Amino acid sequence: MSVPLEHDYIGLSEASPSMEGSERSSGGLNLKATELRLGLPGSGSPERENGVVAEDRAGYPLGMLKSLLVVSGAKRGFSDAIDGGSGKWVFSGSGGSEAELGKGGNLFSPRGVNGSGKGGLGGGSECANQNPGLGVPVLKDGVVPQSPKPLQEKKSQLSAPAAKAQVVGWPPIRSFRKNSMASHPPKNDDDSEGKFGSGCLYVKVSMDGAPYLRKVDLKNYGSYRELSSALEKMFSCFTIGQCGSHGVPSRDGLSESRLMDLLHGSEYVLTYEDKDGDWMLVGDVPWEMFTYSCKRMRIMKSSEAIGLAPRAMEKCKSRN
């Protein structure tokens, strides 16, 4: 894991950052002063004639962002917020900078702030909804770290978490470790997925005909209904006939209900593989028993699912 230190034998080290600037200005971005400029300090910016590099934060970021913001039209607003003399950033927290940015800066709409989206219509509401059904919840209780926001406010929001929300991937512990620390040691388990970890229970869900599969945490749901609606949202884009070249839904708004129709109709059924390796229909056993025994799920075509239902009931009886 250790990385050898760079040895600059003849001044030709591989990726020395201080070299970047001069290389860049000779080669590439030779844009006019008013155009968008991206590059290290010293690479042609009018404010930095003498090319002082990164240590000096005083003027450099100001220069870069000013030229950036010429494009977005919020230059005046931004420089008002910055104490140009001392070069210090004056990000007060909420009020000042947000208001300035709101003026016309459409590149930087902080999450959850309405109305500053480009094009306006629908921008606010779409941006504000940061909690897609399953996919990637940020914090389940709806708190999303905002850009400028006073520290106090943030703290008070977070000091009152009622139920402990499960945040994806936090604390950062590898799946192998989570699964190994299971309260139930594996009996004859081959699949290290979806073991009964004390906090999450990831199982893979595949769907016949879908280009890729998903993982869901069964602990996020309390009932079959919740699970089924989450799966509908996740896989709605795969319903046959609705997919584009990448399997994403066309925007006709019908895709979500389509899967529900398909599931409740006869085209697809939801099945799962249990700890014994048998495939069963989802829904036949009590929810808790299901989460305990489910190793993975498959949304399969009804034609292939014939004969599953009776076995589920038999197994349930033989267990008790």
Partner 1 sequence: MPRMGYSFPEEVLEHVFSFIQSDEDRNAISAVCRSWHDIERWSRRRVFVGNCYAISPKMVIRRFPEVRSIELKGKPHFADFNLVPEDWGGYVAPWISAMASAYPWLEEIRLKRMVITDESLELISKSFKNFKVLVLSSCEGFSTEGLAAIAANCRNLRELDLGESEVEDLSGHWLSHFPDNYTSLVSLNIACLGCEVSFSALERLVGRCPNLRTLRLNRAVPLDKLANLLCRAPQLVELGTGAYSSELRPDLFSNLSGAFSGCKELKSLSGFWDVVPGYLPAVYPICSKLTSLNLSYATIQSPELIKLVSQCQNLQRLWVLDYIEDAGLVALAASCKDLRELRVFPSDPFGPEPNVGLTEQGLVSVSEGCPKLQSVLYFCRQMSNAALITIARNRPNMTRFRLCIIEPQAPDYLTLQPLDVGFGAIVEHCKDLRRLSLSGLLTDRVFQYIGTHAKKLEMLSVAFAGESDLGLHHILSGCENLRKLEIRDCPFGDKALLANAAKLETMRSLWMSSCSVSFGACKLLGQKMPGLNVEVIDERSPPDSRPESCPIEKLYIYRTVSGPRFDMPGFVWTMAENPALRLS
Kindly tell me which of 125 and 303 has the beta carbon lying closer to partner 1: 125
Cα–Cα distance for residue pair 316/285, rounded to 1 Å: 7
| Binding of partner 1 by 199 (CB under 8 A) | yes
Kindly tell me which of 44 and 312 has the beta carbon lying closer to partner 1: 44
> Per CB under 8 A, which region of 35-43, 257-265, 298-306, 312-320 contacts partner 1?
35-43
- Looking at residue 132, its amino acid is P
Q: Please state the closest distance from residue 95 (CB atom) to partner 1, in A.
A: 13
Give 299's strand partners.
207, 270
| Binding of partner 1 by 111 (CB under 8 A) | yes
Q: Please state the closest distance from residue 283 (CB atom) to partner 1, in A.
A: 24
| Binding of partner 1 by 182 (CB under 8 A) | no
Q: Among residue numbers 288 through 317, which ones bind partner 1 (CB under 8 A)?
A: none
| Binding of partner 1 by 253 (CB under 8 A) | no
| Binding of partner 1 by 8 (CB under 8 A) | yes
Q: Is 137 helix (H, G, I), strand (E, B) or coil?
A: coil
Q: Among residue numbers 121 through 140, which ones bind partner 1 (CB under 8 A)?
A: 122-123, 126-127, 130, 132, 135-136, 138-139
> Per CB under 8 A, which region of 60-68, 265-273, 285-293, 307-315 contacts partner 1?
60-68
Q: Please state the closest distance from residue 296 (CB atom) to partner 1, in A.
A: 11
| Binding of partner 1 by 237 (CB under 8 A) | yes
Kindly tell me which of 150 and 310 has the beta carbon lying closer to partner 1: 150
The string of DSSP codes covering 21-56 is: HHHHHHHS----TTS---S-TTSS-TT-TT---TT-
Kindly tell me which of 2 and 320 has the beta carbon lying closer to partner 1: 2
Q: Of 137, 141, 144, give the one whose Cα is nearest residue 161.
A: 141
Q: Among residue numbers 143 through 172, which ones bind partner 1 (CB under 8 A)?
A: 144-149, 151, 154-155, 158, 164, 166-172
Is 47:37 a contact under the CB 8 Å cutoff?
no
Q: Which of 30, 33, 52, 54 binds partner 1 (CB under 8 A)?
A: 54
| Binding of partner 1 by 45 (CB under 8 A) | no
Cα–Cα distance for residue pair 103/58, rounded to 1 Å: 25
**Peptide bond preceding 61: is omega within 30 degrees of 0, i.e. cis?**
no
For β-strands 268-274 and 202-207, DSSP reports them as unpaired
Give 88's strand partners.
83
| Binding of partner 1 by 242 (CB under 8 A) | no
Q: Is 8 helix (H, G, I), strand (E, B) or coil?
A: coil
Is 301:208 a contact under the CB 8 Å cutoff?
yes
Tokens representing 147? 């850009």
